[in-house]
Amino acid sequence: MASCNQTQGVSAADEKTGVSTSLSAGKTAHEIGRRRFVELLNLVREPVAALSTEQNLLVKRELLESLSRRAVYWMALVLFGSLFELKHGYWLRTPHVYLLFRTAWIFGLWGLAAPTALYLLTRTMALPKHAGDNAVERMHWAWAALIMLTSLWWAAGSFGLIPPQFQYSGVGSGRYGFLELTLISDTFTVLLLAPSLRATLGSLVLGAIAFGFSVGEILLIKRPGMFDWYIGQLIGYCLIAWVLCYNQKRACVKELILEEARSQAEAATAEKNQFIAAISHDIRQPLTTLGLKLNYIERNIESTRLAEDVSIAQRQVDAMEGMINGTLDICRLESGTWSVEIQEVVLPSLLHGIVADMQPLAQVKGLKLKVHSRPYLTHTDRHALDRIVRNMVSNAVRYTPSEQGGKKGHILVGCQRRGNLVKISVWDNGIGIPEDRQRDIFKSYVQVDNPERDREKGFGLGLSIVQGLANLLGHELDVDSTPGRGSRFSVTVPFAGRIPPGLFEVHTVENGDVDLTDMVVAIIEDNSDLRTEISMRLIEHGCYVVAGESSSDVIEQLRIEALASGPHFILSDYRLKNEDGIAAIAAVRAATDASIPAVLWSGDTSSAVLKKVAASGMKLLSKPVSEQTLLTLLAKHRPKKTSTEGR
């Protein structure tokens, strides 16, 4: 019995559970159905219902302004349509009262629509920004009333046309034609008056009443099928007008919500930037004091162990100060508070100052850091350009090893003119950047080769600041990098002129080096790595290099740079992609000067190549060509006097 009772209890419990599950499922299905019904209603109900009073007023104001513009277009169509109907319509000619009716119709239409529309348009444009809901509604009703009255007056013109029982053949001849013309033109009514449902429906319905009195009786009696067709067409227009009107409102609401969200996001960003800037400023003060105090203690302490501890503390303070300064600069750029002053900047002094400041860091790493500047003036902000180039040089020093692949690490800072622009470049033979990561390096706190977040490698803010300053100044940034071979970071600035020769002192040549200052050399080499390497070496010694992978590239660059004299020497590889070196040199000579000295280099020393080169009269150097060989060769052909004006 106990077992039976227990079984019955379990069965009853199961039954209750099943009923509960069924009720729960039914309730869930009911809730889903109700939610879907509400979503369906949201698609068709008034879209501004969920807005605040202020937002609702903004939407109404926007719709009123749109209606005022479109109503003027609609009035123009009605007025010019009345002239067409006046000329081509079949008007009743007897008795004389119909002639008076026609005159009153056309003058009444023009006298009512045109002046009133211009008056309302002026009032709408003059509506104060702080106007309330009542003022906006009154103007909306005024436009709707004018449109409805104009439609009624337009449709009343059908009473002066030939009735249906006397209808002549031809579209537009009498009341039938006038009705059909009006129904066709209602397409423009629906489209143009979409911002106002009351104006659109009022225009359609009031016009239909006038036509009903003029042609409705005949249609009902003699052509009931046409009557149904016209009524169905009118209802269809009303439904389309309703859909377009609420779509217009929804578009206004969506735009308003997006604009408000954008404003809130901008306000939040500005508040965040202001907060970070304030915090950064407040923290910098004690850090500066602490850094100075540690520096003083480090200089005057006698204990070696304590000196090491103080040195460690000093490095931590320097790291914190560097990060805070970078963060503060990012905030200034994002908030738009970084002010610039565009002026003429002497490029040589700026570049030499940067390299002089960075030289100790480069020497500590065993890097060779050189600068080759030109006597150029640029139009830019000196402080911002200094920050851009300084960050690029600092980045090159940080990521260039002292030795890689048997080559000593070196960095070159140089500039070359490109027409009315000057391209400032920082070359290095460091680790390079993969192509798929080159866009990421300008983002804040992104570092390609620092997954462990080593502070000795920086914080990933330098290039982000470079990008921000370049955007602020309108300068173009360029990156060319190959992993394992090095990188070239460039910024292009406007060219403002040249420094007079007597005021420019050349600092690019070291003792014992070959001085090739202002010698223009054209390099034709289709291997980009070799082309870059040779260009860097020659630029270090003062050459003005124009390099390309083909003769056409070099000729185009010479044309763009508008040099006062053609190249003084041409260096070309023999085997190029689309031509040989002999043809390439001949093309450059033909475009510039046939007497320009040139030399070829090649790794191919076959008899056929040697015979062809010998026939051309050119000298052939076998790869690899040493730097000293090239410098000695160029020094022999350096012009005694160069004309640098206009470069």
User: CA neighbours within 13 Å on the CB side: how many for 459?
Assistant: 14
> Do the domain assignments include residue 13?
no
Contact 496, 378 (CB under 8 A): yes
Q: Average pLDDT, stretch 550-579?
A: 84
- Return the residue matching tokens 């076998």: 622
- pLDDT for 178-204, tens place per residue? 888 888 888 888 888 888 889 999 999
- CATH code for the domain in which residue 450 is found: 3.30.565.10
Q: Average pLDDT, stretch 540-544?
A: 80
Q: Which residue has the higher pLDDT, 51 or 425?
A: 425
Are 460 and 536 part of one and the same domain? Answer: no
Q: Which residue has the higher pLDDT, 505 or 100?
A: 100
pLDDT at position 149? 93
Report which of 380, 374, 326, 329 is spatially closest to residue 351, judged by C-alpha positions.
Answer: 374
Are 459 and 502 part of one and the same domain? Answer: yes
Q: Average pLDDT, stretch 329-338?
A: 63
Are 460 and 574 part of one and the same domain? Answer: no
> Pick from 460, 492, 508: which residue ends a domain?
508
Are 143 and 247 part of one and the same domain? Answer: yes
Q: Give kind and range of the element (H or E) at residue 299.
A: helix 224-300
Q: Assess whether the previous peptide bond of 163 is cis (omega < 30° from 0).
A: no
**Domain residues for 535?**
514-647
> Do the domain assignments include residue 11?
no
Q: Which residue has the higher pLDDT, 525 or 499?
A: 525
Q: Average pLDDT, stretch 108-120?
A: 89
Neighbours of 246 (CB within 10 A): 18
Q: Average pLDDT, stretch 419-438?
A: 83
> Do the domain assignments include residue 61?
yes
Total domain count for the chain? Answer: 3
> Do the domain assignments include residue 285?
no
- CATH code for the domain in which residue 540 is found: 3.40.50.2300
Q: Average pLDDT, stretch 620-642?
A: 73
Q: Which residue has the higher pLDDT, 506 or 380?
A: 380
> Do the domain assignments include residue 470?
yes
> Pick from 206, 229, 264: which residue ends a domain?
264
Contact 395, 463 (CB under 8 A): yes
Range in 225-234, 583-592, 635-644 the model is least confident about: 635-644
pLDDT at position 153? 92
**Residue 112, token pair as written in the block:** 């009512």
Does residue 642 register a pLDDT over 50? no
pLDDT at position 345? 85
Are 519 and 497 part of one and the same domain? Answer: no
pLDDT interval class at 454 (50, 70, 90): very low
b/e per residue, 16-27, with b = 16+ CB within 10 A?
eeeeeeeeeeee
CA distance between the termini of the chain:
114
pLDDT at position 502? 45
Range in 69-78, 235-244, 443-452 the model is least confident about: 443-452
Rounded distance between C-alpha atoms, residue 62 and residue 484, angstroms: 59
pLDDT interval class at 433 (50, 70, 90): confident
Q: Best-predicted range by mean pLDDT among 66-70, 334-338, 524-528?
A: 66-70
pLDDT at position 494? 93
> Pick from 264, 280, 315: which residue ends a domain?
264
> Do the domain assignments include residue 299?
no
Does residue 643 register a pLDDT over 50? no
Q: Give kind and range of the element (H or E) at residue 387.
A: helix 382-399
Q: Average pLDDT, stretch 580-592?
A: 90
Contact 547, 535 (CB under 8 A): yes
Are 120 and 251 part of one and the same domain? Answer: yes
b/e per residue, 94-121, with b = 16+ CB within 10 A?
eeeeeeebbeebbeebeeebeebbeebb
Are 525 and 502 part of one and the same domain? Answer: no
C-beta contacts of 75-81 below 8 A and 24+ residues apart: 75/113, 75/114, 75/117, 75/150, 77/185, 77/188, 77/192, 78/109, 78/113, 78/150, 78/154, 79/109, 79/110, 79/113, 79/114, 81/154, 81/181, 81/185
- pLDDT for 339-379, tens place per residue? 778 888 888 888 988 888 888 888 888 898 988 888 888 99
Are 376 and 485 part of one and the same domain? Answer: yes
Does residue 148 register a pLDDT over 90? yes
Q: Assess whether the previous peptide bond of 639 is cis (omega < 30° from 0).
A: no
pLDDT interval class at 333 (50, 70, 90): low
Are 504 and 383 part of one and the same domain? Answer: yes
> Do the domain assignments include residue 315?
no
Q: What percent of the chain has pLDDT over 90?
A: 10
Are 195 and 69 part of one and the same domain? Answer: yes
Q: Average pLDDT, stretch 415-421?
A: 86
Q: Best-predicted range by mean pLDDT among 331-335, 422-426, 465-469, 643-647?
A: 422-426
Classify 400 as helix, strand or coil: coil
Q: Average pLDDT, stretch 378-390?
A: 87
When the pLDDT of each residue in the chain is averaged and rounded to a whole number, the result is: 76
Q: Average pLDDT, stretch 282-287?
A: 59
Does residue 220 register a pLDDT over 60? yes
Does residue 450 register a pLDDT over 50? no
Contact 481, 448 (CB under 8 A): no
Range in 56-60, 91-95, 212-216, 518-522 the model is least confident about: 91-95
pLDDT at position 19? 45
Rounded distance between C-alpha atoms, residue 95 and residue 475, angstroms: 81
- pLDDT for 268-277, tens place per residue? 766 766 666 5
pLDDT at position 337? 59
pLDDT at position 629? 74
Q: What percent of the chain has pLDDT over 70?
A: 70
Whether the full predicted model's pTM is greater than 0.75, yes or no, is no
Q: Best-predicted range by mean pLDDT among 286-300, 314-328, 433-447, 574-588?
A: 574-588
Taking the alpha carbons of 296, 300, 305, 308 in that order, is the dihedral positive or negative?
A: positive
**Residue 630, token pair as written in the block:** 């090239």
Are 492 and 551 part of one and the same domain? Answer: no
Classify 336 as helix, strand or coil: coil
pLDDT interval class at 231 (50, 70, 90): confident
**Residue 470, token pair as written in the block:** 């370049």
* Backbone φ, ψ for residue 609 (5° rounding): -65, -45
pLDDT at position 602? 77
pLDDT at position 30? 64
Q: Give kind and range of the element (H or E) at residue 363.
A: helix 347-364
Are 465 and 529 part of one and the same domain? Answer: no
> Do the domain assignments include residue 213?
yes
Q: Which residue has the higher pLDDT, 320 or 204?
A: 204
pLDDT at position 229? 86
Does residue 67 register a pLDDT over 70? yes
Range in 148-152, 418-422, 457-461, 620-624 the model is least confident about: 457-461
